[in-house]
Amino acid sequence: MEKNKVHIIFHIDFNAFFCSVAEIYNPALRNTAFAIGRENSNLGVISTASYEARKYGITSGMPLALAYKKLRTLNVISLPYSYYLDYHNKFINLLKEYTNLIEVGSIDEAYIDVTKLSETRHPLVIAKEIQTRLLKEYHLPCSIGIATTLYLAKMASDLEKPLGLTVMRNKDVKNKLYPLSVKDIFGIGKKTYPKLIDKGIKTIGDFLNEDNKKIVLEIISEDYYNEIKENFKGHSRNTILPLHKEDNLSISTMTTYDRRLYGEDEILFELNILTKEVFKRLKKDKYLTKTINITIRNSEFKTITRSKSLDFYTNDFVIIFDIVTELLEENYHNEEIRLLGVGFSNLIKEELANKEEYNLFNALTKDDKVEVINDLIDKLGKKYGPKVIHFAKNKTLFD
């Protein structure tokens, strides 16, 4: 953290972003209970729920099957990823009118440093203007947290939704944050906070109370504990990392299975389906990727995410799925699997990639590619069974 300089950081967090974009394309969804997820299926999880759906206890990450039990008439829809990316880009372009110090947290949130701009305009005026413009120009409601560090700005933006505007000075932390539930600590996982609550650590104040340190350290490491404590003291990062920009967005998909998967052949078959789904988005939006990752959750809810980065950008399915296969082989240990995910990150637009960064496959003819693919299919078929990969009728992997 940079010393002896107070920074003014905004964390701008959209309220139910995916639902907001869906309502833009279909205004009939406004003021109704709906969610973003896989249509016409009980598989998978809720990505985002509208505020009306949340009244029924439907939340992000909830299995679709459970969501339908809570509200049988729940309307579940999906939109092409490009729709969301389009509004993300509009959001970023609007922020560029205020500062070039922008750090993208995800598709629906960003941090900006308005320290320089605040020399001539009050930070609250700037924040209110950004919030109002996003709502009026793009119909995107957001909450904004204002603080001296990224962490406290993030905590502040979560305090009031929708359309919140919260200033978090260091002296405000104790009054505003300490009474909150320990589950509201940014960085505390869904598996960790129930353990803390079971031990009597119910609030952020309880967590930070030195008298409770021994109890907390039974659940998390001391390094992790000290890091969180420093965050609440305002002793964490206060500078924007411009490298965290929009071209570093990731695209991914994830599915929870009602029937547990077992065995590499069955799991690889499902990963192939997921990889194709993300690959279609990559091609449609004209991106190349440098990093491929998979997520695996077993029947005991242990979740791992593993990734591998290339030395070049690619949009070649053969190379991408070969890495997915490699990651599975390295990290699957014959357990039952309940969730799988595939994602691509370190994205760049095709037109921005240097030609020399393209890989060998870009120089091959289509016939050459088919030969390479057939070799891969034969290889995988011998190892995992003949059904693991196949060409769809009248299509190739490059359609």
Catalytic residues: 109
Q: Which residues of 124-145 are buried (b: 16+ CB within 10 A; e: fewer)?
A: eebbeebbeebbeebebbbbbb
Query: Taking the CA atoms of the chain, what radius of gyration do you get in angstroms?
Result: 23
Separation of alpha carbons 384 and 235, rounded Å: 51
How far is residue 109's CA from residue 186's CA, in Å, rounded to a whole number?
14
Written as one string, the DSSP assignment of 156-202 is: HHTTSTTT-EEEE-GGGHHHHHTTSBGGGSTT--TTHHHHHHHTT--
Nearest-angstrom CA–CA distance, 203 and 184: 9
Q: How far apart are CA 365 and CA 108, in angstroms?
A: 39
Q: Tokens 């104040």 appear where?
A: 205
d(CA 58, CA 70): 7
CA distances from residue 112 to 90, 104, 154, 318, 370 in whole angstroms, order as listed: 15, 9, 11, 38, 47
What is the DSSP code (8-state) at residue 34? E
Q: Six-digit token pair at 76?
A: 């579940």
Beta strand segments in 319-396, E:
337-345, 348-349
Ramachandran bin of 90, using left for φ above 0, alpha for ψ from -120 to 50, beta for the remaining angles: alpha
* Residue 86 neighbours by CB distance under 10 Å: 14
Q: How far apart are CA 380 and CA 325, in angstroms?
A: 9
Whether residue 156 contacts residue 146, with contact meaning beta carbons closer than 8 Å, is answered with yes
Strands (E), the chain: 9-14, 34-36, 48-49, 75-77, 102-106, 109-113, 142-147, 165-168, 251-261, 287-298, 303-314, 337-345, 348-349
